[in-house]
Amino acid sequence: MLEYARWKYILIAAVLLLALLFASPNLFGEDPALQVARKDHTAMASGGQKEVESFLKERHIPFAKGYLDNGHLMVRFANVADQLAARDAVNEKFPQELITALSFAPRTPEFLRVLGLRPMSLGLDLRGGLYLLYQVDVNSAVNQALEGYAQDARRALLAAGIPLKDVTVRPGNAVVVQLPPEADATAARGALNQPFTGLTVTVESLASGSQIVGVMTPAQVRERQDYAIQQNITTLRNRVNELGVSEPIVQRQGIDRINVQLPGVQNSADIKNTLGRVATLEFRLEDMQNNAAEAQATGRAPLGSKLYTHTRFGRPVLLKREIIATGDQLTNATSGQAQEGPVVNIKLDARAGDNMLKTTQANLNKRMAVVLIEKRREVTEVDGKKVTRDVTDEEVINDATIRGVFSNQFQISGLTAGEARDLALLLRSGSLATAIYVVEERAVGPSVGRENIQKGVTALIVGMAGVFLFMAIYYHVFGLVADLVLLANVVLLTALLSLMRASLSLPGIAGIILTVGMAVDANVLIYERVREEIRKGVSPQAAIRAGFEKALSAITDSNITTLIAGVVLWVLGTGPIKGFAVVLILGILTSMFTALMGSRALLTLMYGGRRKITKLSIG
Of the listed ranges 160-174, 256-270, 577-591, the least confidently predicted one is 256-270
Out of 9-13, 115-119, 409-413, 567-571, the most confident range is: 9-13
Residues 344, 421: contact at Cβ < 8 Å? no
Among residues 57, 88, 107, the one where a domain terminates is 107
For residues 20 and 34, membership in a common domain is answered with: no
Cα–Cα separations (whole angstroms), residue 295 to 283, 305, 309, 319, 369:
21, 10, 10, 12, 18
C-alpha to C-alpha distance for 453 and 97, rounded to whole angstroms: 36
DSSP SS3 for 454: helix
Q: Which helix (H) or strand (E) holds 416?
A: none
C-alpha to C-alpha distance for 393 and 374, rounded to whole angstroms: 5
The reply to whether 291 falls in a domain is yes
Q: For residue 264, which of 103, 374, 75, 91 has the smallest C-alpha distance? A: 103
For residues 460 and 575, membership in a common domain is answered with: yes
Q: Give percent above pLDDT 90 in the chain.
A: 3
Cα–Cα separations (whole angstroms), residue 605 to 9, 479, 487:
10, 16, 18
For residues 57 and 200, membership in a common domain is answered with: no
Contacts 24+ apart (CB under 8 A), 389-393: 390/137, 390/140, 390/435, 393/310
Q: What value does the mean pLDDT take over residues 514-532?
A: 85
pLDDT interval class at 467 (50, 70, 90): confident
pLDDT digits (tens, 9 = 90+) for 15-39: 999 999 999 988 888 888 888 887 7
Contacts 24+ apart (CB under 8 A), 530-539: 530/478, 530/616, 530/618, 531/618, 534/616, 534/618, 539/613
- Give the full edge-to-edge strand order of the sheet including 249-253: 249-253, 257-263, 129-136, 436-444
For residues 201 and 291, membership in a common domain is answered with: no
CATH number at residue 171: 3.30.70
CATH number at residue 70: 3.30.70.260
Q: Where are the alpha helices (DSSP H) in 105-246?
A: 110-114, 124-127, 138-160, 185-191, 218-243
For residues 15 and 36, membership in a common domain is answered with: no
pLDDT interval class at 2 (50, 70, 90): low
For residues 469 and 413, membership in a common domain is answered with: no
DSSP SS3 for 285: strand
For residues 192 and 320, membership in a common domain is answered with: no
| pLDDT score, position 492 | 92
**Domains: count for the chain:** 4
DSSP 327: G
The reply to whether 130 falls in a domain is no
Structural domain of residue 165, as residue ranges? 139-220
390 φ/ψ angles, rounded to the nearest 5 degrees: -90, 135
For residues 470 and 394, membership in a common domain is answered with: no
Q: Where are the alpha helices (DSSP H) in 388-539?
A: 417-429, 446-499, 506-535
